[in-house]
Amino acid sequence: MEPFKNKVVYQIYPKSFLDTNGDGIGDLQGVIRKLDYLEELGVDYIWLTPFFPSPQRDNGYDVANYRGVDPSYGTMKDFEELVAEAGKRNIRVMLDMVFNHTSTQHTWFQRALAGEEAYQDYYIFRTPRPDGGPPTNWCSKFGGSAWEYVPQLGRYYLHLFDKTQADLNWENPAVRRELAEIVRFWMSKGVKGFRFDVVNLISKGEYLDDPQGDGRQFYTDGPRVHEFLKELNRQSFGRDKEIITVGEMSSTSMEHCFSYAGEGQEELSMVFSFHHLKVDFAGNNKWVLIPPDFERLKNILFSWQEGMASHGAWNAVFWCNHDQPRVVSRFGDEGVYWKQSAKMLATVIHGLRGTPYIYQGEELGMTNAHFTRLDQYRDVESINHFALLRDRGMSEEGASSILRAHSRDNSRTPMQWDEGENGGFTQGKPWLSVNPNTAVINAASQTKDPDSVFFHYQALIRLRKQWDVFALGDFTPIDPAHPAVLAYKRAWQGEEMLCVNNFFRRPCLWNCPRSLEGFQVLLSNYPDSHPTQEWKLRPYESVLLHRG
Protein backbone atom coordinates (compact mmCIF):
# COMPACT_ATOMS: atom_id res chain seq x y z
CA MET A 1 0.00 0.00 0.00
CA GLU A 2 1.27 3.47 -0.82
CA PRO A 3 2.35 5.28 2.32
CA PHE A 4 -0.53 7.77 2.16
CA LYS A 5 -3.65 5.65 1.69
CA ASN A 6 -4.41 4.65 5.26
CA LYS A 7 -3.14 7.86 6.81
CA VAL A 8 -4.93 10.86 8.24
CA VAL A 9 -3.49 14.37 8.15
CA TYR A 10 -4.22 17.05 10.76
CA GLN A 11 -3.80 20.66 9.70
CA ILE A 12 -2.37 23.12 12.19
CA TYR A 13 -2.63 26.87 11.74
CA PRO A 14 0.16 27.68 14.21
CA LYS A 15 -0.92 31.28 14.73
CA SER A 16 -4.21 30.07 16.23
CA PHE A 17 -3.20 26.78 17.85
CA LEU A 18 -1.58 27.51 21.24
CA ASP A 19 0.35 30.52 22.49
CA THR A 20 2.97 29.67 25.12
CA ASN A 21 4.58 33.07 25.74
CA GLY A 22 1.57 35.34 26.12
CA ASP A 23 2.07 37.48 23.02
CA GLY A 24 -1.32 36.41 21.69
CA ILE A 25 0.18 34.46 18.76
CA GLY A 26 0.35 30.70 18.66
CA ASP A 27 3.85 29.24 18.39
CA LEU A 28 5.85 26.08 17.68
CA GLN A 29 6.26 25.35 21.41
CA GLY A 30 2.47 25.41 21.53
CA VAL A 31 2.33 22.66 18.92
CA ILE A 32 4.87 20.61 20.89
CA ARG A 33 2.72 20.92 24.01
CA LYS A 34 -0.29 19.50 22.25
CA LEU A 35 1.37 16.50 20.60
CA ASP A 36 -0.08 14.17 23.22
CA TYR A 37 -3.55 15.43 22.33
CA LEU A 38 -2.86 14.72 18.64
CA GLU A 39 -1.51 11.30 19.47
CA GLU A 40 -4.70 10.54 21.37
CA LEU A 41 -6.72 11.62 18.34
CA GLY A 42 -4.60 9.22 16.28
CA VAL A 43 -3.40 11.32 13.34
CA ASP A 44 -0.35 10.34 11.29
CA TYR A 45 0.82 13.68 9.92
CA ILE A 46 0.59 17.26 11.02
CA TRP A 47 0.58 19.82 8.23
CA LEU A 48 1.83 23.16 9.53
CA THR A 49 0.79 26.21 7.54
CA PRO A 50 3.72 28.61 6.91
CA PHE A 51 5.76 29.74 9.94
CA PHE A 52 8.63 31.13 7.86
CA PRO A 53 9.86 34.72 8.24
CA SER A 54 7.15 36.89 6.75
CA PRO A 55 5.65 40.36 7.06
CA GLN A 56 2.36 38.48 7.69
CA ARG A 57 0.28 40.42 5.19
CA ASP A 58 -1.34 37.08 4.35
CA ASN A 59 -0.54 35.31 7.63
CA GLY A 60 2.66 33.74 6.36
CA TYR A 61 1.62 32.92 2.78
CA ASP A 62 3.86 35.86 1.98
CA VAL A 63 7.23 34.22 2.61
CA ALA A 64 10.31 36.42 2.99
CA ASN A 65 12.76 33.57 3.68
CA TYR A 66 12.00 29.92 2.93
CA ARG A 67 14.68 28.56 5.23
CA GLY A 68 13.90 30.10 8.57
CA VAL A 69 11.34 30.40 11.36
CA ASP A 70 9.57 33.71 11.98
CA PRO A 71 10.52 34.90 15.49
CA SER A 72 6.84 35.22 16.39
CA TYR A 73 6.60 31.40 16.08
CA GLY A 74 9.94 30.51 17.67
CA THR A 75 13.29 29.33 16.40
CA MET A 76 14.79 26.62 14.19
CA LYS A 77 15.66 24.79 17.41
CA ASP A 78 11.97 24.72 18.30
CA PHE A 79 11.21 23.30 14.89
CA GLU A 80 13.83 20.56 15.25
CA GLU A 81 12.45 19.74 18.69
CA LEU A 82 8.98 19.54 17.17
CA VAL A 83 10.07 17.05 14.49
CA ALA A 84 11.81 14.91 17.11
CA GLU A 85 8.95 15.00 19.62
CA ALA A 86 6.37 14.28 16.94
CA GLY A 87 8.48 11.36 15.71
CA LYS A 88 8.41 9.80 19.19
CA ARG A 89 4.63 9.72 18.88
CA ASN A 90 4.70 8.35 15.34
CA ILE A 91 3.54 11.66 13.93
CA ARG A 92 5.30 13.05 10.86
CA VAL A 93 5.58 16.67 9.83
CA MET A 94 4.28 18.14 6.58
CA LEU A 95 5.27 21.67 5.54
CA ASP A 96 3.54 24.20 3.37
CA MET A 97 5.59 25.37 0.39
CA VAL A 98 4.36 28.63 -1.06
CA PHE A 99 6.11 28.53 -4.41
CA ASN A 100 3.76 30.44 -6.69
CA HIS A 101 4.88 33.74 -5.15
CA THR A 102 7.17 35.29 -2.55
CA SER A 103 6.70 38.26 -0.28
CA THR A 104 7.96 41.47 -1.83
CA GLN A 105 10.22 41.55 1.27
CA HIS A 106 12.10 38.47 0.01
CA THR A 107 15.72 39.34 -0.91
CA TRP A 108 15.09 38.11 -4.45
CA PHE A 109 12.40 40.72 -4.95
CA GLN A 110 14.38 43.40 -3.13
CA ARG A 111 17.36 42.78 -5.44
CA ALA A 112 15.03 42.91 -8.44
CA LEU A 113 13.78 46.30 -7.25
CA ALA A 114 17.37 47.46 -6.77
CA GLY A 115 17.91 46.83 -10.48
CA GLU A 116 19.61 43.41 -10.61
CA GLU A 117 18.42 41.91 -13.87
CA ALA A 118 19.10 38.33 -12.83
CA TYR A 119 16.56 38.76 -10.01
CA GLN A 120 14.08 40.69 -12.13
CA ASP A 121 13.92 37.49 -14.16
CA TYR A 122 12.80 35.65 -10.98
CA TYR A 123 9.48 37.49 -11.22
CA ILE A 124 7.05 38.54 -13.92
CA PHE A 125 7.76 42.12 -14.87
CA ARG A 126 6.01 43.58 -17.92
CA THR A 127 5.93 46.96 -19.61
CA PRO A 128 2.76 49.07 -19.39
CA ARG A 129 0.24 49.35 -22.18
CA PRO A 130 0.71 52.36 -24.45
CA ASP A 131 -1.73 54.27 -22.25
CA GLY A 132 0.33 53.43 -19.17
CA GLY A 133 -2.21 50.95 -17.85
CA PRO A 134 -1.50 47.40 -16.59
CA PRO A 135 -0.38 44.81 -19.19
CA THR A 136 -3.65 42.80 -18.92
CA ASN A 137 -7.04 43.10 -17.24
CA TRP A 138 -6.39 40.21 -14.83
CA CYS A 139 -7.73 40.53 -11.29
CA SER A 140 -6.01 39.71 -8.03
CA LYS A 141 -7.86 37.04 -6.02
CA PHE A 142 -7.77 39.48 -3.12
CA GLY A 143 -9.41 42.27 -5.16
CA GLY A 144 -8.20 44.88 -7.65
CA SER A 145 -5.74 44.51 -10.53
CA ALA A 146 -3.24 41.62 -10.55
CA TRP A 147 -0.50 44.07 -11.66
CA GLU A 148 1.38 46.58 -9.53
CA TYR A 149 3.40 49.40 -11.06
CA VAL A 150 6.99 50.05 -9.94
CA PRO A 151 7.80 53.65 -10.93
CA GLN A 152 11.59 53.30 -10.60
CA LEU A 153 11.57 50.40 -13.08
CA GLY A 154 8.82 51.74 -15.33
CA ARG A 155 7.24 48.29 -15.28
CA TYR A 156 4.46 46.30 -13.62
CA TYR A 157 4.88 42.99 -11.76
CA LEU A 158 2.25 40.26 -11.54
CA HIS A 159 0.61 39.29 -8.23
CA LEU A 160 -2.32 36.88 -8.38
CA PHE A 161 -2.84 37.45 -4.63
CA ASP A 162 -1.98 40.51 -2.50
CA LYS A 163 0.28 43.14 -4.04
CA THR A 164 2.93 42.14 -1.50
CA GLN A 165 2.91 38.58 -2.95
CA ALA A 166 4.82 38.74 -6.25
CA ASP A 167 4.43 35.76 -8.61
CA LEU A 168 7.59 33.81 -9.37
CA ASN A 169 8.73 33.16 -12.93
CA TRP A 170 8.90 29.36 -13.19
CA GLU A 171 10.05 29.67 -16.82
CA ASN A 172 13.42 30.64 -15.36
CA PRO A 173 15.39 27.43 -14.59
CA ALA A 174 17.31 29.25 -11.84
CA VAL A 175 14.00 29.76 -9.96
CA ARG A 176 13.14 26.08 -10.29
CA ARG A 177 16.58 25.09 -8.98
CA GLU A 178 16.22 27.39 -5.96
CA LEU A 179 12.81 25.93 -5.09
CA ALA A 180 13.98 22.32 -5.35
CA GLU A 181 16.87 23.18 -3.08
CA ILE A 182 14.47 24.59 -0.50
CA VAL A 183 12.51 21.32 -0.49
CA ARG A 184 15.76 19.40 -0.01
CA PHE A 185 16.71 21.71 2.85
CA TRP A 186 13.53 20.76 4.75
CA MET A 187 13.91 17.09 3.83
CA SER A 188 17.30 17.21 5.56
CA LYS A 189 15.48 18.37 8.71
CA GLY A 190 13.32 15.25 8.73
CA VAL A 191 10.22 16.67 7.08
CA LYS A 192 8.15 13.85 5.56
CA GLY A 193 5.39 15.68 3.77
CA PHE A 194 4.84 18.75 1.66
CA ARG A 195 1.74 20.70 0.73
CA PHE A 196 2.26 22.95 -2.28
CA ASP A 197 0.23 26.12 -2.20
CA VAL A 198 -1.80 26.98 -5.35
CA VAL A 199 0.67 24.89 -7.31
CA ASN A 200 -1.50 24.62 -10.42
CA LEU A 201 -1.01 28.36 -11.02
CA ILE A 202 2.78 28.27 -11.47
CA SER A 203 2.86 28.00 -15.26
CA LYS A 204 1.50 31.11 -16.87
CA GLY A 205 0.36 30.88 -20.45
CA GLU A 206 -0.08 33.92 -22.59
CA TYR A 207 -0.47 37.35 -21.08
CA LEU A 208 -3.68 38.40 -22.79
CA ASP A 209 -6.79 40.26 -21.76
CA ASP A 210 -9.56 38.00 -20.54
CA PRO A 211 -12.77 39.22 -22.15
CA GLN A 212 -15.14 37.16 -19.94
CA GLY A 213 -13.24 36.50 -16.76
CA ASP A 214 -10.56 37.57 -14.30
CA GLY A 215 -7.65 36.00 -16.22
CA ARG A 216 -7.67 32.60 -14.53
CA GLN A 217 -8.12 30.77 -17.85
CA PHE A 218 -4.58 31.86 -18.79
CA TYR A 219 -2.72 30.64 -15.71
CA THR A 220 -4.84 27.83 -14.23
CA ASP A 221 -3.38 24.37 -15.05
CA GLY A 222 -1.02 26.24 -17.39
CA PRO A 223 0.96 24.82 -20.33
CA ARG A 224 4.12 23.63 -18.48
CA VAL A 225 2.66 22.83 -15.06
CA HIS A 226 3.02 19.03 -15.34
CA GLU A 227 6.56 19.29 -16.65
CA PHE A 228 7.49 21.61 -13.75
CA LEU A 229 5.99 19.28 -11.15
CA LYS A 230 7.71 16.21 -12.58
CA GLU A 231 10.99 18.07 -12.46
CA LEU A 232 10.48 19.22 -8.86
CA ASN A 233 9.56 15.65 -7.92
CA ARG A 234 12.79 14.31 -9.51
CA GLN A 235 14.95 17.01 -7.98
CA SER A 236 13.59 16.80 -4.45
CA PHE A 237 10.84 14.86 -2.67
CA GLY A 238 10.72 12.04 -5.25
CA ARG A 239 14.06 10.88 -3.86
CA ASP A 240 12.43 9.71 -0.62
CA LYS A 241 9.57 7.28 -1.22
CA GLU A 242 8.23 7.82 2.32
CA ILE A 243 7.38 11.42 1.61
CA ILE A 244 3.79 12.32 0.84
CA THR A 245 2.78 15.41 -1.11
CA VAL A 246 -0.43 17.25 -1.76
CA GLY A 247 -1.05 20.03 -4.23
CA GLU A 248 -3.58 22.75 -3.63
CA MET A 249 -5.36 23.10 -6.96
CA SER A 250 -7.26 26.30 -7.50
CA SER A 251 -10.19 26.07 -9.99
CA THR A 252 -8.64 22.97 -11.52
CA SER A 253 -10.16 20.36 -13.82
CA MET A 254 -10.38 16.67 -13.07
CA GLU A 255 -8.46 15.79 -16.25
CA HIS A 256 -5.46 17.70 -14.95
CA CYS A 257 -5.76 16.01 -11.57
CA PHE A 258 -5.47 12.59 -13.24
CA SER A 259 -1.95 13.66 -13.97
CA TYR A 260 -1.15 15.73 -10.85
CA ALA A 261 -2.11 12.84 -8.60
CA GLY A 262 -2.06 9.84 -10.90
CA GLU A 263 -0.27 6.66 -10.00
CA GLY A 264 3.01 6.48 -11.88
CA GLN A 265 2.82 10.11 -13.03
CA GLU A 266 5.60 11.10 -10.64
CA GLU A 267 4.01 14.42 -9.84
CA LEU A 268 2.23 14.49 -6.44
CA SER A 269 0.60 11.95 -4.12
CA MET A 270 -2.77 13.71 -4.05
CA VAL A 271 -4.71 16.90 -4.69
CA PHE A 272 -7.04 19.29 -2.94
CA SER A 273 -9.79 20.46 -5.24
CA PHE A 274 -12.48 22.93 -4.22
CA HIS A 275 -15.47 22.49 -6.49
CA HIS A 276 -17.52 20.85 -3.71
CA LEU A 277 -16.96 23.92 -1.54
CA LYS A 278 -18.42 26.33 -4.06
CA VAL A 279 -21.97 25.04 -3.77
CA ASP A 280 -23.03 27.92 -1.54
CA PHE A 281 -21.90 30.71 -3.79
CA ALA A 282 -22.74 31.90 -7.25
CA GLY A 283 -20.37 30.69 -9.96
CA ASN A 284 -16.80 31.47 -8.94
CA ASN A 285 -17.84 34.39 -6.81
CA LYS A 286 -17.69 33.60 -3.11
CA TRP A 287 -19.01 37.08 -2.31
CA VAL A 288 -22.46 36.20 -3.67
CA LEU A 289 -24.24 33.89 -1.21
CA ILE A 290 -26.71 31.20 -2.14
CA PRO A 291 -28.12 28.42 0.05
CA PRO A 292 -26.00 25.24 -0.15
CA ASP A 293 -27.04 23.14 -3.14
CA PHE A 294 -27.06 19.56 -1.80
CA GLU A 295 -27.57 17.91 -5.17
CA ARG A 296 -24.62 19.72 -6.65
CA LEU A 297 -22.48 18.95 -3.64
CA LYS A 298 -23.23 15.25 -3.93
CA ASN A 299 -22.73 15.19 -7.70
CA ILE A 300 -19.36 16.86 -7.42
CA LEU A 301 -18.13 14.65 -4.58
CA PHE A 302 -19.30 11.48 -6.30
CA SER A 303 -18.01 12.36 -9.75
CA TRP A 304 -14.56 13.14 -8.33
CA GLN A 305 -14.62 9.89 -6.38
CA GLU A 306 -15.45 7.84 -9.45
CA GLY A 307 -13.40 9.84 -11.93
CA MET A 308 -10.20 9.86 -9.93
CA ALA A 309 -10.54 6.15 -9.09
CA SER A 310 -11.04 5.17 -12.71
CA HIS A 311 -7.74 6.90 -13.54
CA GLY A 312 -5.83 5.53 -10.55
CA ALA A 313 -5.55 9.03 -9.11
CA TRP A 314 -5.86 10.00 -5.46
CA ASN A 315 -7.88 12.71 -3.70
CA ALA A 316 -7.27 14.52 -0.47
CA VAL A 317 -10.75 14.53 1.12
CA PHE A 318 -11.81 17.41 3.35
CA TRP A 319 -14.40 20.01 4.33
CA CYS A 320 -12.27 22.44 6.27
CA ASN A 321 -9.07 24.41 6.11
CA HIS A 322 -7.83 27.87 7.07
CA ASP A 323 -9.52 29.40 3.99
CA GLN A 324 -12.97 27.87 4.45
CA PRO A 325 -15.82 28.59 6.85
CA ARG A 326 -16.44 25.96 9.52
CA VAL A 327 -18.32 23.02 8.05
CA VAL A 328 -20.78 22.51 10.89
CA SER A 329 -21.96 26.12 10.41
CA ARG A 330 -22.00 25.71 6.65
CA PHE A 331 -23.62 22.33 5.94
CA GLY A 332 -24.64 21.20 9.43
CA ASP A 333 -26.53 22.67 12.35
CA GLU A 334 -25.22 24.95 15.08
CA GLY A 335 -28.31 24.40 17.21
CA VAL A 336 -29.97 21.29 18.67
CA TYR A 337 -28.30 18.93 16.21
CA TRP A 338 -24.83 20.44 16.47
CA LYS A 339 -23.25 17.20 17.68
CA GLN A 340 -25.10 14.86 15.32
CA SER A 341 -24.39 17.02 12.30
CA ALA A 342 -20.69 17.47 13.14
CA LYS A 343 -20.36 13.69 13.43
CA MET A 344 -22.33 13.07 10.23
CA LEU A 345 -20.12 15.43 8.24
CA ALA A 346 -17.02 13.75 9.65
CA THR A 347 -18.28 10.30 8.66
CA VAL A 348 -19.10 11.38 5.10
CA ILE A 349 -15.49 12.51 4.54
CA HIS A 350 -13.67 9.70 6.36
CA GLY A 351 -15.55 7.00 4.50
CA LEU A 352 -14.58 8.33 1.08
CA ARG A 353 -11.77 7.04 -1.11
CA GLY A 354 -8.87 9.38 -0.42
CA THR A 355 -6.73 10.69 2.41
CA PRO A 356 -8.80 12.58 5.02
CA TYR A 357 -7.62 15.95 6.32
CA ILE A 358 -8.84 17.36 9.62
CA TYR A 359 -8.45 21.08 10.23
CA GLN A 360 -7.71 22.08 13.84
CA GLY A 361 -10.91 22.41 15.86
CA GLU A 362 -12.97 20.46 13.34
CA GLU A 363 -12.56 17.44 15.63
CA LEU A 364 -14.36 19.50 18.30
CA GLY A 365 -17.12 20.70 16.01
CA MET A 366 -15.91 24.31 16.21
CA THR A 367 -18.27 26.81 14.52
CA ASN A 368 -17.97 30.06 12.57
CA ALA A 369 -16.80 33.20 14.38
CA HIS A 370 -20.03 35.24 14.18
CA PHE A 371 -18.18 38.54 14.20
CA THR A 372 -20.45 41.57 14.16
CA ARG A 373 -17.94 44.36 13.49
CA LEU A 374 -15.47 44.84 10.64
CA ASP A 375 -12.67 45.64 13.09
CA GLN A 376 -12.86 42.08 14.42
CA TYR A 377 -11.55 40.72 11.10
CA ARG A 378 -7.85 40.42 10.33
CA ASP A 379 -7.85 38.65 6.95
CA VAL A 380 -6.61 40.75 4.02
CA GLU A 381 -9.05 39.04 1.66
CA SER A 382 -12.04 39.82 3.91
CA ILE A 383 -11.04 43.42 4.48
CA ASN A 384 -10.37 44.10 0.78
CA HIS A 385 -13.57 42.46 -0.42
CA PHE A 386 -15.69 44.20 2.21
CA ALA A 387 -14.47 47.53 0.79
CA LEU A 388 -15.15 46.37 -2.77
CA LEU A 389 -18.70 45.29 -1.92
CA ARG A 390 -19.35 48.64 -0.24
CA ASP A 391 -17.89 50.49 -3.26
CA ARG A 392 -20.36 48.64 -5.45
CA GLY A 393 -23.18 50.04 -3.34
CA MET A 394 -23.94 47.13 -1.03
CA SER A 395 -25.21 48.08 2.44
CA GLU A 396 -22.95 47.60 5.42
CA GLU A 397 -25.28 44.92 6.77
CA GLY A 398 -25.28 43.12 3.41
CA ALA A 399 -21.49 43.08 3.18
CA SER A 400 -21.18 42.03 6.84
CA SER A 401 -23.52 39.11 6.37
CA ILE A 402 -21.39 37.84 3.47
CA LEU A 403 -18.24 38.02 5.59
CA ARG A 404 -20.08 36.26 8.43
CA ALA A 405 -20.75 33.33 6.10
CA HIS A 406 -17.59 33.23 3.95
CA SER A 407 -14.73 35.07 5.60
CA ARG A 408 -11.58 33.01 6.06
CA ASP A 409 -11.37 34.31 9.64
CA ASN A 410 -14.27 31.99 10.50
CA SER A 411 -11.82 29.13 10.64
CA ARG A 412 -8.90 31.11 12.02
CA THR A 413 -10.26 31.93 15.47
CA PRO A 414 -8.07 30.33 18.15
CA MET A 415 -8.37 26.69 19.18
CA GLN A 416 -10.81 26.16 22.00
CA TRP A 417 -8.81 24.18 24.53
CA ASP A 418 -10.95 24.85 27.59
CA GLU A 419 -13.89 26.84 28.92
CA GLY A 420 -11.72 29.55 30.50
CA GLU A 421 -11.04 33.06 29.29
CA ASN A 422 -9.61 32.96 25.77
CA GLY A 423 -10.30 29.24 25.64
CA GLY A 424 -6.91 28.38 27.09
CA PHE A 425 -5.28 29.61 23.87
CA THR A 426 -3.31 32.47 25.42
CA GLN A 427 -2.59 34.29 28.68
CA GLY A 428 -2.39 37.50 26.66
CA LYS A 429 -4.61 39.19 24.12
CA PRO A 430 -5.33 36.85 21.20
CA TRP A 431 -4.46 38.19 17.72
CA LEU A 432 -8.03 37.24 16.64
CA SER A 433 -10.85 36.91 19.17
CA VAL A 434 -11.74 33.56 20.63
CA ASN A 435 -15.27 32.37 19.94
CA PRO A 436 -17.28 32.80 23.17
CA ASN A 437 -18.81 29.37 22.61
CA THR A 438 -15.53 27.97 23.96
CA ALA A 439 -17.59 27.87 27.17
CA VAL A 440 -19.37 24.81 25.70
CA ILE A 441 -17.26 23.65 22.74
CA ASN A 442 -13.77 22.82 23.96
CA ALA A 443 -11.15 20.08 24.04
CA ALA A 444 -11.02 19.73 27.83
CA SER A 445 -14.64 18.64 28.09
CA GLN A 446 -14.68 16.56 24.92
CA THR A 447 -11.61 14.49 25.78
CA LYS A 448 -13.49 13.39 28.93
CA ASP A 449 -16.75 12.55 27.18
CA PRO A 450 -16.87 9.26 25.24
CA ASP A 451 -19.84 10.53 23.22
CA SER A 452 -18.03 13.68 22.01
CA VAL A 453 -17.28 14.79 18.46
CA PHE A 454 -13.58 14.31 19.35
CA PHE A 455 -14.05 10.60 20.05
CA HIS A 456 -16.09 10.21 16.88
CA TYR A 457 -13.10 11.47 14.88
CA GLN A 458 -10.83 9.20 16.89
CA ALA A 459 -13.05 6.24 15.98
CA LEU A 460 -13.04 7.15 12.29
CA ILE A 461 -9.23 7.26 12.27
CA ARG A 462 -9.03 3.94 14.07
CA LEU A 463 -11.44 2.28 11.61
CA ARG A 464 -9.23 3.32 8.67
CA LYS A 465 -6.34 1.45 10.29
CA GLN A 466 -8.47 -1.53 11.19
CA TRP A 467 -10.25 -2.23 7.88
CA ASP A 468 -8.46 -2.11 4.53
CA VAL A 469 -11.69 -1.28 2.74
CA PHE A 470 -11.37 2.34 3.92
CA ALA A 471 -8.01 2.82 2.23
CA LEU A 472 -8.33 0.48 -0.71
CA GLY A 473 -11.99 -0.07 -1.51
CA ASP A 474 -13.75 0.86 -4.74
CA PHE A 475 -16.35 3.56 -4.51
CA THR A 476 -19.97 3.19 -5.69
CA PRO A 477 -22.76 5.71 -5.10
CA ILE A 478 -26.02 4.42 -3.63
CA ASP A 479 -29.30 6.03 -4.65
CA PRO A 480 -27.42 9.14 -5.86
CA ALA A 481 -30.55 11.05 -6.88
CA HIS A 482 -32.11 10.96 -3.40
CA PRO A 483 -32.82 14.55 -2.28
CA ALA A 484 -31.73 14.11 1.37
CA VAL A 485 -29.57 11.02 1.72
CA LEU A 486 -25.88 10.81 0.92
CA ALA A 487 -24.95 7.14 0.71
CA TYR A 488 -22.19 5.12 -0.84
CA LYS A 489 -20.53 1.75 -0.81
CA ARG A 490 -16.87 0.82 -0.65
CA ALA A 491 -15.71 -2.69 -1.51
CA TRP A 492 -12.40 -4.48 -1.31
CA GLN A 493 -11.68 -8.20 -1.63
CA GLY A 494 -14.95 -9.44 -0.19
CA GLU A 495 -15.05 -6.72 2.45
CA GLU A 496 -17.84 -4.15 2.12
CA MET A 497 -18.59 -0.88 3.83
CA LEU A 498 -21.75 1.21 3.52
CA CYS A 499 -21.91 4.83 4.56
CA VAL A 500 -25.44 6.19 4.95
CA ASN A 501 -26.22 9.78 5.94
CA ASN A 502 -29.25 11.96 6.29
CA PHE A 503 -27.77 15.33 5.34
CA PHE A 504 -30.67 17.30 6.80
CA ARG A 505 -32.48 18.25 9.95
CA ARG A 506 -35.73 16.75 8.72
CA PRO A 507 -36.21 13.02 9.38
CA CYS A 508 -36.60 11.02 6.18
CA LEU A 509 -37.83 7.68 5.07
CA TRP A 510 -35.33 5.81 2.92
CA ASN A 511 -35.69 2.62 0.96
CA CYS A 512 -32.21 1.21 1.01
CA PRO A 513 -31.68 -0.31 -2.45
CA ARG A 514 -28.99 -2.72 -1.16
CA SER A 515 -29.49 -5.80 0.94
CA LEU A 516 -28.29 -5.16 4.47
CA GLU A 517 -27.91 -8.81 5.31
CA GLY A 518 -24.80 -9.63 7.23
CA PHE A 519 -23.87 -5.99 7.82
CA GLN A 520 -22.90 -4.76 11.27
CA VAL A 521 -22.91 -1.20 12.52
CA LEU A 522 -19.33 0.04 12.85
CA LEU A 523 -20.15 3.57 13.92
CA SER A 524 -23.17 5.81 14.25
CA ASN A 525 -24.07 9.21 15.66
CA TYR A 526 -27.12 7.90 17.55
CA PRO A 527 -26.74 5.33 20.33
CA ASP A 528 -29.42 3.06 18.87
CA SER A 529 -29.17 2.95 15.06
CA HIS A 530 -31.04 -0.01 13.61
CA PRO A 531 -30.60 -0.18 9.87
CA THR A 532 -33.52 -1.76 8.05
CA GLN A 533 -34.46 -1.92 4.39
CA GLU A 534 -37.26 0.61 5.05
CA TRP A 535 -35.22 2.99 7.07
CA LYS A 536 -36.45 6.00 9.00
CA LEU A 537 -33.38 8.22 9.25
CA ARG A 538 -33.41 10.70 12.12
CA PRO A 539 -32.04 14.26 11.86
CA TYR A 540 -28.49 14.09 10.47
CA GLU A 541 -28.37 10.38 11.24
CA SER A 542 -25.18 8.79 9.97
CA VAL A 543 -24.24 5.11 10.01
CA LEU A 544 -21.21 3.14 8.86
CA LEU A 545 -21.94 -0.52 8.18
CA HIS A 546 -19.48 -3.28 7.51
CA ARG A 547 -19.52 -6.87 6.26
CA GLY A 548 -16.73 -9.37 5.68
- Positions marked catalytic: 197, 248
323 binds, among ligand TEU, Ca ion, none (CB under 5 to 8 A by kind): ligand TEU
Site track for ligand TEU across 49-78, x = CB under 6 A? ---------x--x-----------------
Assess contact for 249 and 199: CB atoms under 8 A. yes
What residues numbered 130-149 form the site for ligand TEU, per CB under 6 A? 141
3-class SS letters over 21-66? CCCCCCCHHHHHHCHHHHHHHCCCEEEECCCCCCCCCCCCCCCCCC
State the DSSP code for 540. T
* Smallest separation (angstroms) from ligand TEU to the CB of 366: 18
Q: Is 402 in the site for ligand TEU (CB under 6 A)?
A: no
Q: Is 198 in the site for ligand TEU (CB under 6 A)?
A: yes
3-class SS letters over 208-222? CCCCCCCCHHHHCCC
d(CA 149, CA 127): 9
Assess contact for 57 and 166: CB atoms under 8 A. no
Assess contact for 189 and 79: CB atoms under 8 A. yes
23 binds, among Ca ion, ligand TEU, none (CB under 5 to 8 A by kind): Ca ion
Q: Is 70 in the site for Ca ion (CB under 5 A)?
A: no
Q: Which is nearer to ligand TEU, 98 or 463 (CB)?
A: 98
Greatest distance between any 2 Cα atoms in the chain: 75
Q: Which is nearer to ligand TEU, 85 or 214 (CB)?
A: 214
d(CA 205, CA 217): 9
226 binds, among Ca ion, ligand TEU, none (CB under 5 to 8 A by kind): none
Residue nearest to ligand TEU (CB): 61
Specify the amino acid at residue 317: V
What residues numbered 280-319 form the site for ligand TEU, per CB under 6 A? 286
Site track for Ca ion across 4-23, x = CB under 5 A? ---------------x-x-x
Helices (H), 236-364: 254-260, 294-310, 327-330, 338-350
34-38, long-range: CB < 8 A, 24+ apart: 35/85, 35/86, 35/89, 35/91, 36/89, 37/443, 37/447, 38/10, 38/89, 38/91
198 binds, among Ca ion, ligand TEU, none (CB under 5 to 8 A by kind): ligand TEU
Assess contact for 73 and 59: CB atoms under 8 A. no
Q: At what angle do helices 380-391 and 396-406 cross, to 10 degrees?
A: 150
Count of residues touching ligand TEU (by CB under 6 A): 14
Q: Is 250 in the site for ligand TEU (CB under 6 A)?
A: yes
Among 8, 9, 12, 25, binds Ca ion (CB under 5 A): 25
Q: Is 323 in the site for ligand TEU (CB under 6 A)?
A: yes
362 binds, among ligand TEU, Ca ion, none (CB under 5 to 8 A by kind): none
110 binds, among Ca ion, ligand TEU, none (CB under 5 to 8 A by kind): none
* Smallest separation (angstroms) from Ca ion to the CB of 429: 11
Among 32, 69, 82, 98, binds ligand TEU (CB under 6 A): 98
Task: With CA atoms as reference, report the closest residue to 508 among 294, 275, 305.
Answer: 294
Q: Which is nearer to ligand TEU, 347 or 382 (CB)?
A: 382
Q: Which is nearer to ligand TEU, 102 or 446 (CB)?
A: 102
Site track for ligand TEU across 331-370, x = CB under 6 A? ----------------------------------------
* Smallest separation (angstroms) from ligand TEU to the CB of 172: 20
CA angle 111, 117, 122 (to 5 degrees): 70
Phi, psi of 36 (to 5 degrees): -65, -40
Assess contact for 312 and 263: CB atoms under 8 A. yes
Q: Which is nearer to ligand TEU, 323 or 496 (CB)?
A: 323
Q: What is the contact surface with Ca ion in residues (CB under 5 A)?
A: 19, 21, 23, 25, 27
Q: What is the contact surface with ligand TEU in residues (CB under 6 A)?
A: 58, 61, 98, 141, 161, 197-198, 248, 250, 286, 322-323, 381, 408
